[in-house]
């Protein structure tokens, strides 16, 4: 991994604040010409430093007021079980994030649901029926204190 230049850091900082900036506005904010700014952003995209752009949606407003963090443990860690579990999770739209972790669980899932009953159904009909899952522990979001934040570049 190469070290980012100060202009690239400024570009990334501004885009993390507002991914809808026009190239002209971004160029003005970071002190570049529009063409030079566009080339820098394009290079960051091609290198994979910028992986995508997306809108942050308010879950409550779109019918998913419940956020649950599911800590999943597998009974063993064979390649087959791990691959099957990860493939299965990728098919579930209510799982909006999934991380393989170290510590007291193997995976941390961020799951959204319209209500607790829907989450219970997700656990009973999917998670606990997925081959290799030995335990699921759930933590329910009470309130959001800090949401997805920019990387501290």
Tell me, what's the pLDDT at 1?
74
Tokens of 103: 């510590």
* 79-88 LR contacts (CB < 8 Å, sep 24+): 81/131, 81/132, 82/132, 84/130, 84/131, 84/132, 85/130, 85/131, 85/132, 85/133, 88/126, 88/130
Q: Which domains does the chain possess?
A: 6-46 (1.10.10.10), 60-140 (3.30.70.920)
Tell me, what's the pLDDT at 8?
97
Tell me, what's the pLDDT at 29?
97
- pLDDT tens-place string over residues 56-72: 999 999 999 999 999 99
Tell me, what's the pLDDT at 81?
95
Q: In the chain, which stretches have pLDDT less than 50?
A: none
Tell me, what's the pLDDT at 2?
82
């Amino acid at each position: 991994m190469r070290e980012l230049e100060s202009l690239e850091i400024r570009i990334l900082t501004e885009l993390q604040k507002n991914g809808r900036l026009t190239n002209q506005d971004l160029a003005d904010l970071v002190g570049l010409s529009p063409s030079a700014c566009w080339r820098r952003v394009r290079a960051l995209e091609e290198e994979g430093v910028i992986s995508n752009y997306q809108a942050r949606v308010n879950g409550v407003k779109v019918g998913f007021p419940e956020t649950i963090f599911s800590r999943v443990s597998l009974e063993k860690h064979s390649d087959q079980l791990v691959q099957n579990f990860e493939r299965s999770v990728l098919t579930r739209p209510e799982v909006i994030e999934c991380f393989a972790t170290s510590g007291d669980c193997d995976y941390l899932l961020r799951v959204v649901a319209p209500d607790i009953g829907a989450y219970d159904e997700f656990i009973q009909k999917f998670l606990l029926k997925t081959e290799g899952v030995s335990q699921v522990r759930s933590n329910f979001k009470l309130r959001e204190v800090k949401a997805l934040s920019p990387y501290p570049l």
